[in-house]
Structure 1
Amino acid sequence: MLVPDEDEHHKRDRDRTEAVIRISSTAVARVSVVTGGNKGIGFEVCRQLASGGITVVLTARDETRGGDAVERLNALGLSQVVFHRLEITEASSAAALAGFLKTRFGKLDILVNNAAVGGVEYGQELDANEEKFDGLDFHQRVEWMLKNAREPIDSAKNSVQTNYYGTKRVTEALLPLLRSSPDGRIVNVSSSYGLLRHIGSEEVRQELNDVDGLTEERLDELLEKFMEDFESGALEPHGWPGKFSAYKVAKAAMNAYSRILARRHPELRVNCAHPGFVKTDMSMGSGVLTPEEGARSLVKVALLPDGGPTGAYFAQGEEAPFV
């Protein structure tokens, strides 16, 4: 309906203005959050997403390192990368990030849960030097890690609290914003160490693989039992992994939680992605892939075509079984 006394010229101007507003409202860049984005794989995920025109909120627990990472990306011409502090083990920190996103963007399209810890310690005489692995094949590099890693109880507790509960805490805090997106996506960075084959107990494997029957409460009980067995030195008798045990169990639990979340929220796409054995501080530089190569697999999952899978596991960009 025309406004009274509006001439044709003014009508055309108004129509053009309204068209621009409509286009702008539908063409707003997708917004992503990458946890642990200040270095390694996380930094590369930020760079690759931003290079595709996606607004990236790079998060890290250290403000100086996070700010420096954003400056490096901005210097590459990626001005749509911003920093926000996030300590994934703190509920208040996750809530602060959610508040920032709601105020600044009003939604979240992509969450890449990359922040993690290895849950092991290496001798002080060892450093993350890639040169010492020259000439070693994949299996020899893995054997080096297994031989030199120690897993004290405090590191194991931190692994479970960070890799499972921290990831879950951030995800739950950002869920309302993801659900405000027309195509919300979650990529939980996983590992081949999180596959069920690493758990010796058939009963536990079946529970973790029971997509329809497993609950978050039962996951809590299993993790509590794991830590009890760890402290009492009874891991292997009860079918838990030996080496890198807390990391493997936490990642297996995160995989299971991802499937629960995908079932609960069919409007979202929630997937797990293993980037491969990457040269990072966590692997002490022993990996066979560069951070750029590892990140490429994660970004591929984050940017799957509309209508793609949910509740799935991807190994280096290709869908694979959880077992």
Structure 2
Amino acid sequence: MFLDENMVHERRSLPWTVNNAGVNGAITKEELWKVDFGEIVGVNARPLKELVKQTYETAENCMRTNYYGIKQLSKALIPLLLLSNSARTVNVSSILGQLEELEDVDGLTEGKVDKVVEGFLEDVKENLIETNGWPLNFSAYFVSKAALAYTRILAMKYPRIAINAVHPGSVGTDINYHNGKLPVEEGAKGPVMLALMPEGGPSGLFFDETNVSTF
């Protein structure tokens, strides 16, 4: 998160926040990243319990960081951002974080998103992830990023702030033992573009790197 309060109070121009939380919600082994990516996520994914261990504690921590953390931070900073005529908020999400229950972004409410997150955590506790069709391997991470459809709710509630979400690409960081396709500098392009976009830019959208996509 980046915010210059002097800019907000004195210059009233271009204050911005970039919310980037990257807890993966599981305990992993480095060997995981030698497995074909199609076996880790997607329709051909298979359970890789020997390489990915998700517990209720890791899943809950993931939600508290990736979803609830961004919600709480946004609510704390919005009063400051509203002091500007051209504020920006960027939530870093993932193109892999998609759930059927959250596809109707125009009809979403905060209560609906919270209900999906709470239902997921209950299924983790009851060991019903596979039974109830949640994503295999990193399900907490994917659900937490899907829940950032909340970005659309914020954008509708606060039209004076340009609020968008972005998938930065497959970036090599600690979360994947630096096995991503892009260096951090490349992954920063989308978030920086949205944080510094000209006045009158889009709001309530999801970007795949620097291109508009769908939630």
TM-score (structure 2 length as normaliser): 0.85
- 2: CA distance between counterparts of 1:243 and 1:160? 15
- 2:128 corresponds in structure 1 to 234
User: Where do 1:1-323 residues align within 5 Å?
Assistant: 33-34=1-2, 101=5, 105-106=8-9, 109-123=15-29, 126=30, 140=36, 147=48, 148-194=51-97, 196=98, 199=99, 205=100, 207-254=101-148, 256-322=149-215
Compared with structure 1, are the counterparts of its residues 152 and 261 closer, same or farther at alpha carbon in structure 2 (3 Å cutoff)?
Answer: same
1:278 and 1:290 in contact (8 A); partners too: yes
1:178-237 alpha-carbon deviations (Å, 9 max, x no partner):
11111111100011121x2xx3xxxxx2x4133343211222222111111111121233
- 2: CA distance between counterparts of 1:110 and 1:172? 14
- Gaps spanning 5+ residues in structure 1: where? 1-32, 35-55, 58-100, 128-132, 200-204
**Count of aligned residue pairs for this structure pair:** 205
CA RMSD of aligned residues (A): 2.6
How big is the shift at 1:116? Answer: 2.7
- 1:89 corresponds in structure 2 to none
How big is the shift at 1:307? Answer: 1.5
SS in 1 for 2:36: helix
2:8 and 2:15 in contact (8 A); partners too: no
2:179 counterpart letter in structure 1: S
TM-score (structure 1 length as normaliser): 0.58
Larger RCO (CA under 8 A, 6+ residues apart): 2
Larger helix fraction of residues: 1
Compared with structure 1, are the counterparts of its residues 141 and 208 closer, same or farther at alpha carbon in structure 2 (3 Å cutoff)?
Answer: closer
- Gaps spanning 5+ residues in structure 2: where? 42-46
- 2: CA distance between counterparts of 1:300 and 1:259? 18
- 1: CA distance between counterparts of 2:150 and 2:190? 21
- 2: CA distance between counterparts of 1:154 and 1:182? 41
2:166 and 2:208 in contact (8 A); partners too: yes
Compared with structure 1, are the counterparts of its residues 212 and 122 closer, same or farther at alpha carbon in structure 2 (3 Å cutoff)?
Answer: closer
Question: Rg: which structure is higher?
Answer: 1
Q: Percent identity?
A: 42
2:85 counterpart letter in structure 1: P
- 1: CA distance between counterparts of 2:200 and 2:78? 19
1:193 and 1:247 in contact (8 A); partners too: no
